[in-house]
Structure 1
Amino acid sequence: MTFPHVTLVQDPHDRLGLLRTDDAWLAERWADPASRVLVIAGTRVRPGPDGLEWVPAAEAPEGIRLLLGERDGTTWWGVIVPGEVAKAEPERWLPLRGLLPFLSGDAVREAPLVFHALGLAEWHWVHRFCPRCGGTLAARAAGHELVCAECGKPQFPRSDPAVIMLIAAGEAGSPDERCLLGRHPAWPAGRYSTLAGFCEPGESLEDAVRREVLEETGIAVGDVSYFGNQPWPLPSSLMLGFHGRATSEEIRLDDADVEDAQWFTRDDMRRRAEDGSLVLPGGVSISRSLVEDWYGGALPGSW
C-alpha cells in the first residue's frame, strides 16, 4: 500500500550542508543563470498564475539568502525579504498551508524545497533576537545559522517533535475492531482526525502517545508501535506517527482542544465517509495514512 503522506517528501534535494560556509562556491552558484530562487516575504510566498514562481537569481531582490540545495543539476535558493512586502497584497501572499493546493500534480516535486525554505523563514521570523542576552542576530551558513552580535551565541533551526497516533481497540482485524478519532471545536461539522500532541522534555515518544491520548480522551494506551514520520513546517514540527492499542474504552473529554471523540469500526468509517457525515484528513497528511493503514485501503472524501 502506498501511503499518502509520503507524497510531499518523496523527491528530496541534496541539501549540500558542507558547502554552506564556502563563500566562493556560494557566490559562484548564485551567479549561475540556471539557479532558481523562491522569494519569501516574512513567512509568505506569492504564487503566480501557473503556480509557485522560482526566479533567476539575477531577478531576486536583496534579502537573506537561503541555500536549499541541488536537484536535477540546478541550485535552489530562497530569499527572505521583510514581511511588510506582503502587507500591500495580503490576499496574494500566502502562508504554507495556503500553498498546498499549488503543490499537487507535477508541482509536488517542489514540496521538499518549499518545506525547507518556509521552515527556515519561520525560524528566522521567530528568532530575531538572541534568547540568551537579547542581542542582534546575524545570519550565516547560507541562512542555516544565526549568531548573536553581542554574546556570540549561535542558534540553529529546530523541529518540534509531535506525536500523531491511531489508537485501536478490540481484536485486531476483526469486524468489531475500532479506532479512536477526535475533533477540534473549531472544525466544521463531520471532521474527525487522529489524536496528536507535542512531546515534552524528558519524555519518550511512546509515553507522549500515552499521555496525550489519556489527557485528551481519558483512554489508557498500552502497546505503541512506530508507523512513520512527516515533516510538517506549520510552523516547525516533525510529525511522528504511531499505532497504539487501547487498554480502556470509556471516553472522557477533559481537554478543551477535543470537542468530541468517537470509536469507529471499519464499517462505520466506510459508510459515514461515503455519505459525507465523516470527513477525514487530507490525502497528504500522515493522519490520513494512519487511518487508511488501519482501515486497509483508500477511503472517500477529505478535508
Structure 2
Amino acid sequence: MTDIKVLRLDRADHVRNDPSLLAAAASDGAIFLLLDGLTPRFDAAGRIAWSRLSNAPADAERVFLGMDGGRGCFALIPQTSDGASMRSVRDLAGQLDAGDFSAYSMARSLLDWHVRQRFCSRCGFTTTVAKGGWQRNCANSKCAAVHYPRTDPVVIMTVEWAGEGGEPQLLLGRQAGFPPGMYSALAGFVEPGETIEAAVAREVHEEAGLAVRDVRYISSQSWPFPSQLMIGCHAICDDGAITTNSDELEDARWFSRSQVSEAMLGNGPGPVSVPPTYAIAHWLIARWLAATGTCAPQ
C-alpha cells in the first residue's frame, strides 16, 4: 500500500471505448483501488487506499474507473461480492469525503454487477469483460448477447400538507430496521413502465394511504445498494388522513415545522431524529424547512 491520493476522477468514456487508450491508461503510473471483497481499505489519513497497478496480480480481471490527471484508475473484480453490508456502506458515506465516496460507490456497484453477471442471462454461457469493465459479452457465438451495468431508480419524497390549522406539515415515516426514533422521507423503487411522478404517487398511497399532487423533481443521489439512483422529489397532499401500511412502514405521521427543526438540530424534547447529513433524505427535509422559513439547510 502506498500513500496515493486521487484528486479528480474523470470517468473518461472515450478511454474505455478505445482499446489503445485503455492500454495506455493501464501503463506506468496506473493505480487500483484496494479492496477486501467489496470492503475498502484505508490509508493512514483515513482515505480509501490505492496501490500501483503493477502490484496487482497479472491475471486479475479489472474495471476501468477513470482518469486522475494522466494516470488510469482501476478496480479488480473479486471472486465474490461478500462484504460491505448496507450498514457499513452507510457508515462509509458519513466518513469519506464526496470524491472518495463517489469513487468507491462506482467501484462497488460495478464490481458487484460483474460478480453477478459471470453467466449470460439469456443462454447461461459464460461472459467476458469488455470495454474496460463497462460491458460483459456472452462467449457463446450463437448468442453473443451484450450485458451492461444497471442502475435501479428509487424515488424518495418529501410530502407537504397544509394542516388543519394552516401550518405546513411534513410527512415522515419509519421502517422497523431504522435506528430507534429515526424518521425519514418515504421512498420506493420505480416500477417498469412507470414515470417518476407516478412512482411518487403510488408509493405514498401504498405506504401511507395518501393521495398527492404537483410532484416536482428536486435532486438526486447515487446509492450503492448495490446500484441505486435516489431521485428526490416533493409533492403536495390535500387530505392528511394517514393509513399506514404495516407491511411497508412501522409508523408514518405528520410533523410540524418546529418538530422537524428540533429533530434536525438534534435537541428535540422527544426521541425523534432524521437521517444523517450525507443522505439525500436529510437534504430534502432541510430544504423543506428552509422553504417554510424555519431554518437553513444543513
Q: TM-score range by the shorter chain?
A: 0.7 to 0.9
| Structure 1 gap ranges (5+) | 1-10, 87-92
- 2:220 is the counterpart of 1:229: yes
C-alpha displacement at 1:164, in angstroms? 0.3
The 1:126/1:248 distance shift into structure 2, 3 A limit, reads: farther
Q: In 2, are the aligned partners of 1:241 and 1:286 still within 8 Å (CA)? A: yes
C-alpha displacement at 1:197, in angstroms? 0.3
Please give the secondary structure, in 2, of the residue aligned with 1:209: helix
Please, which of 19, 26, 29 is the counterpart of residue 25 of structure 2? Answer: 29
Which whole-Å deviations, capped at 9, do the CAs of 1:59-95 have from their partners, x for residues lacking one?
A: 12342211111134432111123239x7xxxxxx645
The 1:97/1:254 distance shift into structure 2, 3 A limit, reads: closer
Aligned-partner residue type, residue 23 of structure 1: P
C-alpha distance in structure 2 between counterparts of 1:268 and 1:286, whole Å: 19
Partner of 1:178: 169
Aligned-partner residue type, residue 38 of structure 2: T
Aligned-partner residue type, residue 60 of structure 1: A
Q: In 2, are the aligned partners of 1:198 and 1:208 still within 8 Å (CA)? A: yes
C-alpha distance in structure 2 between counterparts of 1:98 and 1:156, whole Å: 26
The 1:197/1:101 distance shift into structure 2, 3 A limit, reads: closer
Which whole-Å deviations, capped at 9, do the CAs of 1:120-148 have from their partners, x for residues lacking one?
A: 01211222211111111111111110111
Alignment of 1:58-69 (within 5 A): 58-61=54-57, 62-69=59-66
C-alpha distance in structure 2 between counterparts of 1:213 and 1:101, whole Å: 28
- 2:250 is the counterpart of 1:259: yes
% same residue = 34
Partner of 1:274: 267
- 2:284 is the counterpart of 1:287: no
C-alpha distance in structure 2 between counterparts of 1:17 and 1:127, whole Å: 21
Alignment RMSD, CA only? Answer: 2.5
Alignment of 1:14-93 (within 5 A): 14-33=10-29, 35-51=30-46, 52-61=48-57, 62-83=59-80
| Structure 2 gap ranges (5+) | 1-6
Which whole-Å deviations, capped at 9, do the CAs of 1:203-260 have from their partners, x for residues lacking one?
A: 1100100000000010111111110111112111111110000122111112412000
The 1:249/1:64 distance shift into structure 2, 3 A limit, reads: same
Aligned-partner residue type, residue 29 of structure 1: A
C-alpha displacement at 1:270, in angstroms? 2.5
What is the aligned length? 280
C-alpha displacement at 1:43, in angstroms? 3.0
Partner of 2:101: 111
Which whole-Å deviations, capped at 9, do the CAs of 1:1-21 have from their partners, x for residues lacking one?
A: xxxxxxxxxx86321112214
Partner of 1:120: 110
C-alpha distance in structure 2 between counterparts of 1:12 and 1:216, whole Å: 40
Aligned-partner residue type, residue 143 of structure 1: G
Which whole-Å deviations, capped at 9, do the CAs of 1:174-223 have from their partners, x for residues lacking one?
A: 97100000000122321100000011111110010000000001011111
Q: In 2, are the aligned partners of 1:213 and 1:220 still within 8 Å (CA)? A: yes
Q: In 2, are the aligned partners of 1:232 and 1:238 still within 8 Å (CA)? A: yes
C-alpha distance in structure 2 between counterparts of 1:96 and 1:182, whole Å: 20
C-alpha distance in structure 2 between counterparts of 1:66 and 1:235, whole Å: 16
Partner of 2:3: none
Q: In 2, are the aligned partners of 1:166 and 1:180 still within 8 Å (CA)? A: yes
Please give the secondary structure, in 2, of the residue aligned with 1:142: helix
The 1:121/1:96 distance shift into structure 2, 3 A limit, reads: farther
